[in-house]
C-alpha cells in the first residue's frame, strides 16, 4: 500500500513548499491537500519537482451538487481546479456532494449524477479524475447528503465515466456502516483513492478498533494499486507519527 501524506493534517505551521520537503525527507513519495487557493502554485510546483514528491489530490472549490441551482458554480469550480491541477501535476480532485437539501433522495441523487456527467466533459479535457466522497453524519458531518458507499458506487456507475470515481474513506465508512474489506475489494472499479484514520477519535491508525494491516493486505491482494491518505489528527509528534505509520503500514 502506498501511503500519502495530507499536508494540512501534519504541517499546518510551515509553508506548503517546506512541508513537501519534510515529507520527502521522511521517505514519503506522495502528498495531498484540500484548499489549493492561497498557495503559490509555481513555488509549490518547483518544490514537487525538486523533491520528487507527487501531489496526488486536492479538493475542488465548490461542493453543492445536490441542488441543481448551484450546478454552474460547481462546474466553474471544476474548471478552475483543473487549471490549478495542471500547474501542480495533480491527477485527482476530491469533491463533496453537498448538504441534504430536504428534497427527495431521488431528486438529489439524480442531481449529483447530472452534475458529474456535465463535469466529466471538462475533466476529460484536462485528463483529471474527480472523486466523490461519502462522509459520516454521526460524528463529523451532520446534514451531509452522501453517507452510503453503496450509493456512491451506484452514482459512479450511473455516470459511466472513467473520470468520475470515489474516494473511499475507511474512517468515515467504519463510523457509518463497517464491512470495510468487502465494500472496498468488491468495488475497486469505482475507487480511485483511499483515506484512513483510527476510530474512534480520528487519530493514528494503530490507536483505533480496525486492524489496518489486515485491511491493507486484503485490499492489496484484491489488486488495488492506488494510495491511501493518512487523514488523521496525530496524537504523537507529527513527524514521529508519520514515521510510525510508515513502519507499520508502508
What does the pLDDT read at residue 22? 98
**Number of helical (H) and strand (E) elements in the chain, helices listed first:** 10, 8
Average confidence score pLDDT of the chain: 98
Q: Which of 32, 62, 133, 204 is catalytic?
A: 133
**Is 49 marked active-site?**
no
- Is this structure's pTM higher than 0.85? yes
Cβ-based neighbour number of residue 129 at 10 Å: 22
Helix axes 71-88, 105-126, angle to 10 degrees: 30
- Structure-block grid coordinates of residue 29: 513519495
pLDDT average, residue stretch 65-92? 98
Q: Could you give the domains of the chain? A: 2-249 (3.20.20.150)
pLDDT in tens, 163-205: 999 999 999 999 999 999 999 999 999 999 999 999 999 999 9
SS3 string, 201-226, reads CCECHHHCCCCHHHHHHHHHHCCCCC
- Under DSSP, the state recorded for 227 is E
133 an active-site residue? yes
- pLDDT tens digits for range 88-98: 999 999 999 99
Helix (H) or strand (E) holding 173: helix 170-176
Q: What does the pLDDT look like over 220-246, one tens digit per residue?
A: 999 999 999 999 999 999 999 999 999
Per annotation, catalytic residue among 32, 62, 204, 231: 231
Give the CA-trace dihedral at 186, 192, 197, 198, to 10 degrees: 10
Rounded to whole angstroms, the Cα distance separating 164 from 180 reads: 21
Per-residue pLDDT band at 41 (split at 50, 70, 90): very high
Interatomic CA distance for residues 59 and 131, integer angstroms: 9
Cell triple for residue 165?
470515481
Q: What is the mean pLDDT of residues 16-22?
A: 98
Amino acid at each position: 500500500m502506498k501511503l500519502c501524506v495530507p499536508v494540512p493534517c501534519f504541517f499546518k505551521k510551515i509553508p506548503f513548499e517546506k512541508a513537501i520537503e519534510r515529507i520527502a525527507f521522511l521517505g514519503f513519495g506522495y502528498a495531498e491537500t484540500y484548499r489549493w487557493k492561497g498557495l503559490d502554485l509555481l513555488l509549490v510546483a518547483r518544490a514537487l519537482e525538486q523533491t520528487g514528491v507527487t501531489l496526488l489530490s486536492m479538493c475542488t472549490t465548490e461542493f453543492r451538487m445536490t441542488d441543481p441551482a448551484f450546478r454552474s458554480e460547481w462546474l466553474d469550480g471544476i474548471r478552475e481546479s483543473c487549471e490549478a491541477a495542471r500547474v501542480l501535476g495533480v491527477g485527482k480532485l476530491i469533491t463533496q456532494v453537498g448538504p441534504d437539501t430536504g428534497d427527495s433522495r431521488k431528486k438529489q441523487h439524480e442531481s449529483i449524477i447530472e452534475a458529474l456527467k456535465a463535469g466529466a466533459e471538462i475533466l476529460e479535457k484536462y485528463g483529471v479524475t474527480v472523486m466523490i466522497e461519502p462522509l459520516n453524519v454521526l460524528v463529523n458531518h451532520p446534514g451531509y447528503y452522501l453517507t452510503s458507499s453503496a450509493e456512491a458506487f451506484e452514482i459512479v456507475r450511473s455516470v459511466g465515466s472513467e473520470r468520475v470515481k470515489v474516494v473511499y474513506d475507511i474512517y468515515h465508512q467504519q463510523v457509518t456502516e463497517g464491512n470495510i474489506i468487502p465494500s472496498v475489494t468488491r468495488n475497486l472499479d469505482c475507487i480511485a483513492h483511499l483515506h484512513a484514520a483510527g476510530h474512534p477519535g480520528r487519530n493514528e491508525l494503530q490507536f483505533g478498533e480496525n486492524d489496518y494491516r489486515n485491511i491493507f493486505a486484503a485490499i492489496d491482494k484484491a489488486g488495488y494499486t492506488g494510495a491511501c491518505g493518512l487523514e488523521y489528527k496525530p496524537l504523537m509528534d507529527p513527524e514521529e507519527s508519520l514515521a510510525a505509520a510508515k513502519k507499520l503500514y508502508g
